[in-house]
Structure 1
């Protein structure tokens, strides 16, 4: 399964208001829970537990909170562009404004690392990041991610 199979326009939130990392994770947990038929508390606890291991900020204003959830539900990917950047404890000390959240079923571990790697490859491209920051609508975000993860894309 390609990462772009997981992201549709309804999974994109542009100009999200979140005051800090904890409130952002709560908002993302609520969205992920509704898409997966899970409780918000369950998803939020899993995201917080992963963040306690170390920040999922990648640098350059990007974070990739991710976790594996008990059971065999389908995977989910969410994208949020923040109205104002927030501190995410990034190694480069840059505040985060682009957030991809990956929720993966524990029962299907084989696709988890390839999905993370595919997304990280796309996010290394400064042009992709710039275009995500300038995107005017959710459909544009999905298209940018499809282009950024296409085979042969540097």
Structure 2
């Protein structure tokens, strides 16, 4: 399974309005809950616990909040773009406006790192980030992410790849 299998237009949120980290995590937990059926409070608690370990902000205005969840069967990737960037405790001190949320079933944890690696690869190019910030539709975001992936990421990644 790779990012192309997990990110669909249905899982893209454009121009969301959270004003801080707490309200953003709440929004992401609410959206994720409606898609995977896990309780919002459980998702929110897991995301908060992960952020307590250290910020998942990658720099350049991007964050990759992620966690494993017990009792879920399928992974979920959501993309959210904010109207206004927020402080997400990034190492480069830049506010964050682009978020990829990754929720992964604990029972199949081996796939989490490859998918997160693909997301990071897709976001390395500053042009890709600029285009994501300008995308007008959820379909455009999905297409941009797919285009930003290196050619070998289009194949199914095996655990042996990492």
TM-score tier, shorter chain, comes to over 0.9
Give the conservation status (yes or no) of the 8 Å contact 2:121–2:150.
Answer: no
- Runs of 4+ off more than 3 Å: none
Q: Distance in 2 between matches of 1:72 and 1:23?
A: 24
Deviates most, 135-144 or 70-79: 70-79
CA RMSD of aligned residues (A): 1.1
Matches within 5 A, 1:17-56: 17-56=17-56
User: How many pairs are equivalent?
Assistant: 153
Matches within 5 A, 1:119-134: 119-134=119-134
Q: Distance in 2 between matches of 1:120 and 1:17?
A: 24
1:112 aligns to what?
Answer: 112
Give the conservation status (yes or no) of the 8 Å contact 1:132–1:144.
Answer: yes
1:152 deviation in Å?
5.2
Could you list the per-position Cα deviations for residues 106-146 of structure 1 after superposition, in whole angstroms to 9, with x for gaps in the alignment? Answer: 00011111011111011111111010000011000000011
Unmatched 5+ stretches in structure 2: 154-162
Tell me: CA distance 1:72–1:37, structure 2 relative to 1, closer, same or farther (3 Å). closer
- 1:99 matched to 2:95? The reply is no
1:72 deviation in Å?
4.1
Q: Distance in 1 between matches of 2:104 and 2:146?
A: 20
2:136 aligns to what?
Answer: 136
- 1:87 matched to 2:87? The reply is yes
Unmatched 5+ stretches in structure 1: none
